[in-house]
Amino acid sequence: MRYIILFYVILFLPFKIFAQNDTTEILEQKQKTQKISPLVYVIPTAMVSYGILTRFTPDLQHLDHSIDKQISKNIHRQYHFDDYIQFIPYLGIYGLDLCGVKAKHNLLDRTLVLGTAMIFCTAIVQPTKQLANITRPDGSNNHSFPSGHTATAFLGAHILFREYKDTSPWIGVAGYGFAFTTATMRMINRKHWLSDVITGAGVSILCVELSYLMLTVWHKLFKIKRKSNGLTISPVVSSNFYGIGGIYMF
């Protein structure tokens, strides 16, 4: 747990330093990134707290096992479409532009947010899986907590919500629908406990919010000016693949 706390301390230091150096730019960026209900922070924090509390609370662990027992009793096969639908919200993040639906941020900023959130989320989820050492419901390995599929799905869904909520709230609802379905299927397939998927969703939402805060840092660090030409390289990381994406703004 102390490693995760240290991660957050290191994460906020550069934001604090840049905030002291460029107040005008910070205020301008805040108008676009921080006009959102405090529930966006409270709810995912509660979700992550629930998952951590479950590790030390027998009654919550019993709830996990009771739900899995009912699933194993009534469902006798696995459905693997959760491996694919977790990525559907990402299609919306970029694809809606092609349909003439305008996002809140430009293509470059969306890519920076997405790449940053993926790095943050992977840096938390993957080490936690190793350190927590929780056995999956099907007993296949000890990397159950938290759910990487769920984190991937909710990360894309929350960016979709943030970018298009002013255009139509139903876009965000659709994204969360695919994310919720992914989380449910991870439980039905007996790959995760209830506390795993709740925590995965909470972690990814918090990572997205932190990534929007970091936009100003990247603008300052890389001297990014709006409506300027340039090539941007962004890492793409999830629990299933690693890669690099490039984007040219003109």
Q: Where are the alpha helices (DSSP H) in 75-143?
A: 82-85, 88-98, 107-132
pLDDT digits (tens, 9 = 90+) for 40-80: 789 999 999 999 999 999 999 999 999 999 999 999 888 99
163-183 b/e (C-beta count within 10 Å ≥ 16 → b): bbeeeeeebbebbbebbbbbb
pLDDT band at 110 (very low <50, low <70, confident <90, very high): very high
pLDDT per position as a tens digit, 155-209:
999 999 999 999 999 999 999 999 999 999 999 999 999 999 999 999 999 999 9
Alpha-carbon gap, residue 108 to 45, rounded angstroms: 28
One-letter identity of residue 150: T
Give pLDDT tens digits for 195-233: 999 999 999 999 999 999 999 999 999 888 765 444 444
pTM of the model as a whole: 0.78
Q: Rounded to an integer, what distance in angstroms lies between the CA atom of residue 11 and that of residue 214? A: 9
Q: Rounded to 5, what percent of the chain is helix, strand, coil?
A: 70, 5, 25
Half-sphere exposure of 155 (CA within 13 A, CB side): 32
